[in-house]
Chain A
Amino acid sequence: MAEAPVSNCEEIQESLGAYLLGELPESWTDAIDEHLAAGCPNCNDELDELLAGLSGVAAVLDGPPLKPEECIPVQRAIEQRILSLSASNRAPQSHTGFRFLGASLYAAALAAGVLLAVGMMRQFVPSKAGPRFVARQADEVRQAANSSPRISFVSSALPETSQDSSQTILLLFDEQSREAHLYFRNVPVPAPGKHYVIVARGGRRQSEPPQRVYIDGYGQGQIVISSIEKSEAASLRLELRADESATNEDSI
């Protein structure tokens, strides 16, 4: 393909298919954008024709509307991402089903690109000295947490059997509310879009009440442990289990 962008209507119209599919070099795409925006009637008509044809192709592939329970995993995943963009202009949304993190903590973690995930039937040992400590991400989180006077980074860890450094669990501590916030990121679960039960052990209390956590399609999830000391939080052991009590409505 020539390096020079398309320059006339014939070339542009011949390239519109590839343009729609995003297969053109950026310089070509920019040139076509500019040409179309300038209002060339023939090329705009041609594009409209192709788009109408594309709509027909899409209709061939289209299927029945999803049932409500089929939509909710997608909605939940998007809700979490919307929350992560709380600094944007979009209006805050209400959520149910599990507790969400405080805005300042959320912003601190997500400013560092930290997302949430979890593994199943594995134990995690948050420990600064852990052999699977993810230093790069930990530094990012620590730096983000340090920007908040009330948030402190405690530790991060990987699933014990994982070799994938993106599969991380992060523990932040809210000094003001005395809450431990656990973020799970990119740890595969056999069935995303469901609730799981997480059991935290360790610290003076030895065992926290099991908490339900929703794991979305990206393997993201989060929980908050209230009324806990920082030292206790640092010694927690976590175990994730399938939520046997979840009903269909619960697990969507």
Chain B
Amino acid sequence: MPNDSDQILMERIAGGCQQSLAKLISRYGALVDQVCRNICGPEAELAALTSEVFWELWVRAERFQEQRGSLRAYLMLIARSRAIDYRRSQRTRQESIRRHMRLKIANDCDRDANAEPCMRAIHDEECQQARKALRNLDPPQREAIELAFFEGLTHEQVAQRMEAPLGTTKSRIRLGLKQLKKYLDS
């Protein structure tokens, strides 16, 4: 396992190592920012939201178990949750939150020149494979996943948006994720 693998860094963070947290902020800051940006819009307090997500990672580092999913997925779920909370609070305070976010997938894989070449290459490859896999999903599954994870809608909201029964929507998301895994494995 590389010295700066996610798992190693998380173990160090659990021991109080801020340098390791800084590495993960660099590595996954763009992901967290993108999740929050998609859900809350570009006018949101993205820096504060990103800080909140990584703070939660810091506090809960000891509970992270990579064998129950990647850190990337873990961070995405935390970011989604915090972003939804933020959006909800903004909607409560003011009625001007935009309702429909245009999905923006970062297409450029122009990596930080300072990133380690090996890590960068792995990261780029994973990104491209994942995008390809998502494109290969059945359209309803893909749409359901995009609404749930890119726009931060709940299952019920996804069902309403897609005008589909709740049970069907749940199945689409679940089967879509499983199909995604199969594509990625292959």
Give B21 Cβ to nearest chain A Cβ, in Å.
7
Within 8 A of A (CB), among B41-76: 45, 47-48, 50-51, 54-55, 58, 68-70, 72-73, 75-76
Within 8 A of A (CB), among B102-156: 105-106, 108-112, 114-115, 120, 123, 126-127, 129-131, 133-134, 145, 148-150, 154-155
The CA-CA distance from A53 to B27 in the complex, in Å, is 20
B77 touches A17 (CB 8 A): no
A62 touches B18 (CB 8 A): no
Interface: A160 (CB within 8 A): no
Segment at the interface with B among A44-52, A105-113, A138-146, A172-180: A44-52
B26 touches A59 (CB 8 A): no
Interfacial chain A residues near B33, Cβ < 8 Å: 63
B16 touches A90 (CB 8 A): yes
Produce 1/0 per residue, A11-22, CB < 8 A to B.
001111110111
A77-B22 in contact given A62-B30, A62-B123, A217-B45 (Cβ < 8 Å): no
Interface: A60 (CB within 8 A): yes
A75 touches B106 (CB 8 A): no
B73 touches A54 (CB 8 A): yes
A17-B170 in contact given A61-B106, A68-B26 (Cβ < 8 Å): yes
**From A51, A61, A93, A193, contact of B69 by CB (8 A):** A51
**From B25, B109, B131, contact of A74 by CB (8 A):** B25
Q: Which residue of A lies closest to B153 (CB)?
A: A21
Within 8 A of B (CB), among A14-62: 14-18, 20-23, 47-62
Interface residues on A, range: 35 or more
The CA-CA distance from A35 to B152 in the complex, in Å, is 27
Segment at the interface with B among A78-86, A123-131, A195-203, A238-246: A78-86
Interfacial chain B residues near A82, Cβ < 8 Å: 18, 58
Interfacial chain B residues near A79, Cβ < 8 Å: 18
B155 touches A21 (CB 8 A): yes
Produce 1/0 per residue, A171-210, CB < 8 A to B.
0000000000000000000001100000000000000000
A48 touches B68 (CB 8 A): yes
A61-B58 in contact given A48-B68, A73-B51, A74-B47 (Cβ < 8 Å): no
Interface: B180 (CB within 8 A): yes
Interfacial chain B residues near A59, Cβ < 8 Å: 72, 126-127, 129-131
The CA-CA distance from A81 to B58 in the complex, in Å, is 10
Most chain B CB atoms below 10 A, which of A55, A58, A70: A58
Interfacial chain A residues near B120, Cβ < 8 Å: 65
The CA-CA distance from A75 to B25 in the complex, in Å, is 8
B77 touches A56 (CB 8 A): no
Give A100 Cβ to nearest chain B Cβ, in Å.
14
The CA-CA distance from A62 to B25 in the complex, in Å, is 12
The CA-CA distance from A54 to B71 in the complex, in Å, is 10
Residues in B lying within 8 Å of A, measured CB to CB: 16, 18, 21-22, 25-31, 33-35, 38, 45, 47-48, 50-51, 54-55, 58, 68-70, 72-73, 75-77, 80-81, 105-106, 108-112, 114-115, 120, 123, 126-127, 129-131, 133-134, 145, 148-150, 154-155, 167, 170-171, 173-174, 176-181, 183-185
Beyond known contacts A53-B179, A64-B109: 5 more, CB 8 A cutoff? A18-B170, A59-B131, A64-B108, A70-B29, A74-B29
